[in-house]
Amino acid sequence: MKQLTSPNGTAASALAFGTMQFGGRADETASARMFDACRAAGITHFDTAHVYTDGASEKILGKLIAKDRDSLLIATKAAYTGGARPDTIRTSLETSRKRLGIDVIDALYMHRFDPDTDLHDTFEALAELKQAGLIRYVGISNYAAWQAVKACWVASKFDLSIDLIQPMYSLVKRQAEVEILPMAADMEMLCAPYSPLGGGLLSGKYAEGGSGRLTEDDRYAERYGARVMHDAAARLSQIAAARGTHPATLAVAWAAAHPTAPTPIISARDPAQLAPSLAALDYDMPDDLYDELAALVPAPPPATDRTEEA
Protein backbone atom coordinates (compact mmCIF):
# COMPACT_ATOMS: atom_id res chain seq x y z
CA MET A 1 0.00 0.00 0.00
CA LYS A 2 1.01 3.60 -0.57
CA GLN A 3 2.84 5.27 2.34
CA LEU A 4 1.40 8.66 3.22
CA THR A 5 3.11 11.19 5.45
CA SER A 6 2.31 14.23 7.57
CA PRO A 7 3.51 17.70 6.51
CA ASN A 8 6.87 17.18 8.26
CA GLY A 9 7.36 13.71 6.79
CA THR A 10 6.11 11.62 9.72
CA ALA A 11 4.74 8.32 8.40
CA ALA A 12 1.05 7.66 8.75
CA SER A 13 0.41 5.10 11.50
CA ALA A 14 -0.70 1.51 10.89
CA LEU A 15 -4.11 2.38 12.35
CA ALA A 16 -6.10 5.58 11.95
CA PHE A 17 -8.48 7.09 14.47
CA GLY A 18 -11.92 8.20 13.31
CA THR A 19 -13.51 11.13 15.12
CA MET A 20 -17.13 10.53 14.09
CA GLN A 21 -18.06 10.38 17.80
CA PHE A 22 -16.43 13.73 18.70
CA GLY A 23 -19.15 16.17 19.73
CA GLY A 24 -21.75 13.42 19.68
CA ARG A 25 -21.46 10.32 21.85
CA ALA A 26 -18.08 11.67 23.02
CA ASP A 27 -18.05 15.11 24.65
CA GLU A 28 -14.99 17.35 24.50
CA THR A 29 -13.42 15.82 27.61
CA ALA A 30 -13.80 12.24 26.38
CA SER A 31 -12.61 13.29 22.92
CA ALA A 32 -9.46 14.86 24.36
CA ARG A 33 -8.71 11.79 26.46
CA MET A 34 -9.09 9.51 23.43
CA PHE A 35 -6.91 11.78 21.33
CA ASP A 36 -4.21 11.69 24.01
CA ALA A 37 -4.45 7.89 24.21
CA CYS A 38 -4.04 7.66 20.46
CA ARG A 39 -1.02 9.92 20.45
CA ALA A 40 0.57 7.96 23.30
CA ALA A 41 0.09 4.77 21.28
CA GLY A 42 1.70 6.31 18.19
CA ILE A 43 -1.36 7.18 16.10
CA THR A 44 -0.55 9.92 13.59
CA HIS A 45 -3.51 9.54 11.20
CA PHE A 46 -6.82 11.16 12.20
CA ASP A 47 -10.02 11.03 10.16
CA THR A 48 -13.10 13.26 10.25
CA ALA A 49 -15.71 14.64 7.83
CA HIS A 50 -17.54 17.86 7.04
CA VAL A 51 -20.88 16.32 8.10
CA TYR A 52 -19.81 14.61 11.33
CA THR A 53 -21.80 15.87 14.34
CA ASP A 54 -22.81 19.04 12.49
CA GLY A 55 -19.22 20.24 12.38
CA ALA A 56 -18.38 19.62 16.04
CA SER A 57 -16.04 16.76 15.14
CA GLU A 58 -13.83 18.98 13.00
CA LYS A 59 -13.86 21.80 15.55
CA ILE A 60 -12.88 19.55 18.47
CA LEU A 61 -10.21 17.79 16.42
CA GLY A 62 -8.85 21.16 15.32
CA LYS A 63 -8.25 22.21 18.93
CA LEU A 64 -6.57 18.92 19.76
CA ILE A 65 -4.14 18.82 16.84
CA ALA A 66 -2.84 22.38 17.23
CA LYS A 67 0.33 21.57 19.16
CA ASP A 68 1.39 18.63 16.94
CA ARG A 69 -0.19 19.62 13.64
CA ASP A 70 2.84 19.14 11.38
CA SER A 71 3.49 15.59 12.58
CA LEU A 72 -0.10 14.44 11.96
CA LEU A 73 -1.99 13.34 8.86
CA ILE A 74 -5.44 14.95 8.98
CA ALA A 75 -8.13 13.63 6.65
CA THR A 76 -11.63 14.98 6.15
CA LYS A 77 -14.42 14.39 3.65
CA ALA A 78 -16.63 16.51 1.43
CA ALA A 79 -19.68 15.98 -0.77
CA TYR A 80 -21.77 13.66 1.40
CA THR A 81 -24.63 16.07 0.79
CA GLY A 82 -25.03 18.53 -2.05
CA GLY A 83 -23.27 16.39 -4.61
CA ALA A 84 -19.65 16.35 -5.76
CA ARG A 85 -19.92 19.55 -7.77
CA PRO A 86 -16.95 21.94 -7.79
CA ASP A 87 -18.81 24.63 -5.83
CA THR A 88 -19.87 22.14 -3.16
CA ILE A 89 -16.33 20.78 -2.83
CA ARG A 90 -14.76 24.23 -2.52
CA THR A 91 -17.32 25.46 0.01
CA SER A 92 -16.99 22.29 2.09
CA LEU A 93 -13.20 22.46 2.03
CA GLU A 94 -13.15 26.09 3.12
CA THR A 95 -15.49 25.31 6.01
CA SER A 96 -13.36 22.33 7.06
CA ARG A 97 -10.15 24.37 6.97
CA LYS A 98 -11.68 26.97 9.26
CA ARG A 99 -13.12 24.41 11.68
CA LEU A 100 -9.85 22.48 11.86
CA GLY A 101 -7.79 25.66 12.11
CA ILE A 102 -5.35 24.55 9.43
CA ASP A 103 -4.45 26.05 6.07
CA VAL A 104 -3.86 22.75 4.27
CA ILE A 105 -5.97 19.60 4.50
CA ASP A 106 -3.67 16.60 4.23
CA ALA A 107 -6.26 14.28 2.69
CA LEU A 108 -9.63 15.27 1.24
CA TYR A 109 -12.02 12.43 0.43
CA MET A 110 -15.10 12.52 -1.72
CA HIS A 111 -17.43 11.07 0.92
CA ARG A 112 -19.48 9.02 -1.53
CA PHE A 113 -19.94 8.50 -5.24
CA ASP A 114 -22.18 11.08 -6.90
CA PRO A 115 -23.88 9.61 -9.99
CA ASP A 116 -25.34 12.98 -10.95
CA THR A 117 -22.08 14.93 -11.32
CA ASP A 118 -19.60 14.38 -14.14
CA LEU A 119 -16.40 12.93 -12.70
CA HIS A 120 -14.43 15.33 -14.87
CA ASP A 121 -15.96 18.27 -12.99
CA THR A 122 -15.24 16.68 -9.62
CA PHE A 123 -11.62 15.75 -10.22
CA GLU A 124 -10.72 18.86 -12.18
CA ALA A 125 -11.82 20.84 -9.11
CA LEU A 126 -9.75 18.60 -6.83
CA ALA A 127 -6.73 18.98 -9.12
CA GLU A 128 -7.05 22.76 -8.92
CA LEU A 129 -7.28 22.64 -5.13
CA LYS A 130 -4.19 20.47 -4.95
CA GLN A 131 -2.28 22.72 -7.33
CA ALA A 132 -3.28 25.68 -5.16
CA GLY A 133 -1.69 23.94 -2.16
CA LEU A 134 -4.95 23.57 -0.21
CA ILE A 135 -4.90 19.75 -0.14
CA ARG A 136 -2.02 17.28 -0.22
CA TYR A 137 -3.75 13.97 -0.99
CA VAL A 138 -7.03 13.06 -2.69
CA GLY A 139 -9.23 10.22 -1.48
CA ILE A 140 -12.53 8.53 -2.28
CA SER A 141 -14.92 6.88 0.15
CA ASN A 142 -17.77 4.43 -0.44
CA TYR A 143 -16.85 3.96 -4.12
CA ALA A 144 -17.22 0.60 -5.80
CA ALA A 145 -14.07 -0.71 -7.45
CA TRP A 146 -15.30 0.14 -10.94
CA GLN A 147 -16.15 3.66 -9.80
CA ALA A 148 -12.70 4.01 -8.26
CA VAL A 149 -10.92 2.85 -11.41
CA LYS A 150 -13.00 5.17 -13.56
CA ALA A 151 -12.24 8.03 -11.15
CA CYS A 152 -8.51 7.28 -11.41
CA TRP A 153 -8.71 7.39 -15.19
CA VAL A 154 -10.55 10.71 -15.14
CA ALA A 155 -8.23 12.17 -12.50
CA SER A 156 -5.18 11.25 -14.57
CA LYS A 157 -6.41 13.64 -17.28
CA PHE A 158 -5.70 16.44 -14.81
CA ASP A 159 -2.36 14.99 -13.71
CA LEU A 160 -3.99 13.97 -10.43
CA SER A 161 -3.62 10.71 -8.53
CA ILE A 162 -6.12 9.22 -6.10
CA ASP A 163 -4.14 8.37 -3.01
CA LEU A 164 -6.66 6.82 -0.61
CA ILE A 165 -9.85 4.81 -0.62
CA GLN A 166 -12.15 4.23 2.33
CA PRO A 167 -14.48 1.20 2.15
CA MET A 168 -16.34 -0.69 4.86
CA TYR A 169 -14.42 -3.78 5.99
CA SER A 170 -14.54 -6.20 8.89
CA LEU A 171 -14.79 -9.89 9.69
CA VAL A 172 -18.53 -9.70 9.02
CA LYS A 173 -18.39 -7.30 6.05
CA ARG A 174 -15.82 -8.77 3.68
CA GLN A 175 -16.98 -7.59 0.26
CA ALA A 176 -13.95 -5.29 -0.04
CA GLU A 177 -11.75 -8.40 -0.41
CA VAL A 178 -13.25 -9.19 -3.81
CA GLU A 179 -12.15 -6.12 -5.77
CA ILE A 180 -11.53 -3.02 -3.64
CA LEU A 181 -8.53 -4.23 -1.61
CA PRO A 182 -6.68 -5.80 -4.57
CA MET A 183 -7.57 -2.84 -6.77
CA ALA A 184 -6.19 -0.40 -4.18
CA ALA A 185 -2.97 -2.37 -3.88
CA ASP A 186 -2.54 -2.57 -7.65
CA MET A 187 -3.22 1.14 -8.14
CA GLU A 188 -1.08 2.15 -5.15
CA MET A 189 -3.83 3.66 -3.03
CA LEU A 190 -3.76 3.53 0.73
CA CYS A 191 -6.86 1.62 1.81
CA ALA A 192 -8.24 2.94 5.12
CA PRO A 193 -11.33 0.83 5.83
CA TYR A 194 -13.88 1.92 8.39
CA SER A 195 -15.97 -0.09 10.89
CA PRO A 196 -13.45 -2.88 11.58
CA LEU A 197 -15.61 -3.73 14.62
CA GLY A 198 -18.79 -4.03 12.58
CA GLY A 199 -20.56 -1.16 14.31
CA GLY A 200 -19.40 -2.55 17.66
CA LEU A 201 -20.82 -6.02 17.03
CA LEU A 202 -17.34 -7.57 17.15
CA SER A 203 -16.53 -5.97 20.50
CA GLY A 204 -18.77 -8.55 22.19
CA LYS A 205 -20.78 -5.92 24.04
CA TYR A 206 -24.13 -6.71 22.43
CA ALA A 207 -24.00 -10.34 23.48
CA GLU A 208 -23.60 -9.02 27.03
CA GLY A 209 -26.66 -6.78 26.74
CA GLY A 210 -24.78 -3.59 25.93
CA SER A 211 -26.08 -0.68 23.86
CA GLY A 212 -24.68 1.28 20.97
CA ARG A 213 -25.26 1.90 17.29
CA LEU A 214 -26.86 -1.48 16.68
CA THR A 215 -29.52 -0.75 19.29
CA GLU A 216 -29.82 3.00 18.67
CA ASP A 217 -29.56 3.36 14.88
CA ASP A 218 -31.89 1.48 12.51
CA ARG A 219 -29.33 1.64 9.68
CA TYR A 220 -26.71 -0.16 11.74
CA ALA A 221 -29.24 -2.63 13.10
CA GLU A 222 -30.15 -3.60 9.54
CA ARG A 223 -26.55 -3.56 8.30
CA TYR A 224 -25.40 -5.99 10.99
CA GLY A 225 -28.62 -7.86 11.63
CA ALA A 226 -27.84 -11.17 9.91
CA ARG A 227 -27.74 -14.21 12.18
CA VAL A 228 -24.42 -15.35 10.72
CA MET A 229 -22.85 -12.07 11.82
CA HIS A 230 -24.04 -12.42 15.40
CA ASP A 231 -22.95 -16.05 15.49
CA ALA A 232 -19.51 -15.00 14.26
CA ALA A 233 -19.31 -12.30 16.94
CA ALA A 234 -20.16 -14.84 19.64
CA ARG A 235 -17.52 -17.25 18.39
CA LEU A 236 -14.96 -14.44 18.15
CA SER A 237 -15.54 -13.63 21.82
CA GLN A 238 -14.95 -17.29 22.71
CA ILE A 239 -11.71 -17.40 20.71
CA ALA A 240 -10.53 -14.15 22.28
CA ALA A 241 -11.29 -15.40 25.80
CA ALA A 242 -9.36 -18.60 25.16
CA ARG A 243 -6.35 -16.51 24.08
CA GLY A 244 -6.63 -14.06 26.97
CA THR A 245 -7.35 -11.05 24.81
CA HIS A 246 -10.29 -8.85 23.84
CA PRO A 247 -12.46 -9.62 20.79
CA ALA A 248 -12.07 -6.03 19.56
CA THR A 249 -8.29 -6.45 19.54
CA LEU A 250 -8.59 -9.56 17.40
CA ALA A 251 -11.14 -7.96 15.06
CA VAL A 252 -9.00 -4.89 14.37
CA ALA A 253 -5.78 -6.90 14.10
CA TRP A 254 -7.48 -9.29 11.66
CA ALA A 255 -8.61 -6.43 9.39
CA ALA A 256 -5.10 -4.95 9.46
CA ALA A 257 -3.51 -8.32 8.66
CA HIS A 258 -5.02 -8.62 5.17
CA PRO A 259 -2.18 -9.24 2.68
CA THR A 260 -2.71 -5.81 1.09
CA ALA A 261 -1.88 -4.12 4.45
CA PRO A 262 -4.82 -1.77 4.92
CA THR A 263 -4.99 0.90 7.62
CA PRO A 264 -8.20 0.27 9.60
CA ILE A 265 -9.93 3.29 11.12
CA ILE A 266 -10.76 2.64 14.76
CA SER A 267 -13.14 4.70 16.86
CA ALA A 268 -14.87 4.77 20.24
CA ARG A 269 -16.97 6.88 22.55
CA ASP A 270 -14.58 6.85 25.52
CA PRO A 271 -11.00 5.77 26.38
CA ALA A 272 -12.06 2.49 27.99
CA GLN A 273 -13.91 1.46 24.84
CA LEU A 274 -10.96 2.55 22.70
CA ALA A 275 -8.24 0.63 24.57
CA PRO A 276 -8.84 -2.85 23.06
CA SER A 277 -8.76 -1.45 19.51
CA LEU A 278 -5.53 0.46 20.21
CA ALA A 279 -4.03 -2.78 21.54
CA ALA A 280 -4.27 -4.17 18.00
CA LEU A 281 -1.27 -1.98 17.09
CA ASP A 282 0.97 -4.38 19.00
CA TYR A 283 -0.88 -7.62 18.34
CA ASP A 284 0.99 -10.12 16.20
CA MET A 285 -1.65 -12.03 14.23
CA PRO A 286 -0.51 -15.64 13.61
CA ASP A 287 -1.44 -17.16 10.26
CA ASP A 288 -3.45 -19.95 11.83
CA LEU A 289 -5.50 -17.51 13.91
CA TYR A 290 -6.07 -15.28 10.86
CA ASP A 291 -7.44 -18.28 8.98
CA GLU A 292 -9.56 -19.40 11.95
CA LEU A 293 -11.16 -15.98 12.23
CA ALA A 294 -11.64 -15.71 8.46
CA ALA A 295 -13.63 -18.95 8.57
CA LEU A 296 -16.21 -17.44 10.95
CA VAL A 297 -18.05 -15.85 8.02
CA PRO A 298 -17.97 -17.25 4.48
CA ALA A 299 -15.75 -15.31 2.13
CA PRO A 300 -17.62 -13.48 -0.64
CA PRO A 301 -17.50 -15.11 -4.07
CA PRO A 302 -14.79 -13.95 -6.46
CA ALA A 303 -15.51 -11.31 -9.07
CA THR A 304 -15.91 -13.71 -11.96
CA ASP A 305 -18.62 -15.83 -13.50
CA ARG A 306 -16.07 -18.65 -13.92
CA THR A 307 -16.08 -19.59 -10.27
CA GLU A 308 -15.04 -23.14 -11.10
CA GLU A 309 -11.66 -21.74 -12.15
CA ALA A 310 -11.22 -19.39 -9.19
Could you list the mean pLDDT of each consecutive 10-residue stretch along the chain, which spans 310 residues? 90 98 96 98 98 97 97 97 96 98 98 97 98 98 98 98 98 97 96 96 85 83 91 96 97 98 97 97 97 95 78
DSSP SS3 for 187: coil
Main-chain phi, psi angles of 22, to 5 degrees = -60, 125
Q: Which one, of 194, 101, 99, 70, lies nearest residue 139 by Cα?
A: 194
> What are 159-202's pLDDT values in tens digits?
999 999 999 999 999 999 999 999 999 999 999 999 999 999 99
In a domain? residue 287: no
Q: What residues does 26 pair with on adjacent strands?
A: 22
> What are 198-216's pLDDT values in tens digits?
999 999 988 777 777 888 8
8 A C-beta contact, residue 176 and residue 166: no
In a domain? residue 175: no
> How far apart (Å, rounded) are the C-alpha atoms in residues 282 and 43?
12
DSSP secondary structure letter of residue 140: E
DSSP secondary structure letter of residue 308: G
Angle between helices 287-294 and 247-256 (to 10 degrees): 100
Helices in 83-179 by DSSP H: which ranges? 86-100, 119-131, 145-156
Structural domain boundaries enclosing 37: 1-166
Q: Which one, of 82, 62, 80, 83, lies nearest residue 72 by Cα?
A: 62
Residue 49 CB contacts under 8 Å (≥ 6 apart), including other chains: 20, 57, 58, 76, 77, 80, 109, 111
In a domain? residue 44: yes
> How far apart (Å, rounded) are the C-alpha atoms in residues 1 and 263?
9
In a domain? residue 67: yes
pLDDT at 310: 64
The residue type found at 17 is F
Per the structure, the count of domains in the chain is: 1
Q: What is the pTM of this model?
A: 0.95
What is the arrangement of strands in the sheet containing 45-47, beginning at the earlier edge strand?
190-191, 164-166, 135-141, 105-110, 73-78, 45-47, 16-18, 265-266
The enclosing domain of 73 has a CATH number of 3.20.20.100
In a domain? residue 173: no
In a domain? residue 258: no
In a domain? residue 39: yes
DSSP secondary structure letter of residue 193: -
In a domain? residue 85: yes
pLDDT at 1: 63
Residue 52 designated active-site: yes
8 A C-beta contact, residue 150 and residue 181: no
